[in-house]
Amino acid sequence: MAALGIFLFSTSYIFVYYAEEHVVSGLVAIGYSVSPLTGMLGMRLFFGTPMTRRLAVGSALGIAGIALVFWPEFARMRSDGDTALGALYTAIAVVLSTLGSMVAHRNQQAKLPLWQGMAWGMLYGAIFSLAVTLANGKALAFEATPGYVGSLFYLAVFGSILAFASYLTLLQRIGAARSGYVGVMVPIVALVVSALFEGFRGHALTLVGVAVSVAGNVIVLRGK
């Protein structure tokens, strides 16, 4: 449960935050769209689960779709060491997240209860994140404003507890490789939310990329 918390709830997100200080969010989204492939490799390496051509094709479509969605962002990227560092942080985050999923799969095989295991994992992850924060000399802050408290409540309840309960349930039902497709679908949902509340207006590649990614999702999730 400590490994679950440190990999899935703590360090993977820390490296995402570091990555987005150096590169556009689209590159991070591309990194996480590889999650089905890394999940498939992890299941093969740690549990001997066979790799399937269907999952590989669906994953490739997911990666291609997200690349099309964020193509305009790449035009603004600089080819320098800062970008390379951001890409490295993204790769580390994806690997750590995949390791967390492998630990979650192992815990489910050991019949650990989902809610209690997740609660202990989040406690360990929070403690580890706090230790990293203090070790880096970062100050702890809190603002008693409606916007701050509301966003914190949303992240804690909907963005963490319910989101991970849903993901771990999905992982239990269809496996780590196929459930890793959430790494493709999250950026698409984020674009929809942005269009509704932030006035985001897509381009032709946005629609094509979404269609390609959804097609990959259908291939990954459909029955034999």
DSSP characters over 127-159: HHHHHHHHHTTPPP----SHHHHHHHHHHHIII
Distance CA 2, CA 68 (A): 37
pLDDT one digit per residue (tens) for the chain, 224 residues:
999 999 999 999 999 999 989 887 888 888 899 999 999 999 999 999 998 888 899 999 999 999 898 887 776 666 667 888 888 999 999 999 999 999 999 999 999 999 999 999 999 999 999 999 999 999 998 999 999 999 999 999 999 999 999 999 999 999 988 999 999 998 888 888 888 888 888 788 888 999 999 999 999 888 66
> Residue 215's closest CA among 70, 66, 53, 98?
66
Burial readout 180-196 (b: 16 or more C-beta within 10 A, e: otherwise): bbbbbbbbbeebeeeee
Give 58's contacts (C-beta < 8 A, 6+ positions apart): 36, 181, 216, 217, 218, 219, 220
Entry pTM? 0.89
Q: What are 60's two structure tokens? A: 């490739």
Q: Look at residue 77 in the predicted model and tell me its pLDDT.
A: 67
> Residue 62's closest CA among 224, 215, 223, 221?
215
Give the start-to-end residue ranges of the domains of the chain.
Answer: 2-221
Residue 76: C-alpha distances to residues 23, 36, 199, 201 (Å): 10, 27, 21, 18
Q: Quick one: how far is CA 133 from the chain centroid?
A: 21
Distance CA 193, CA 187 (A): 10
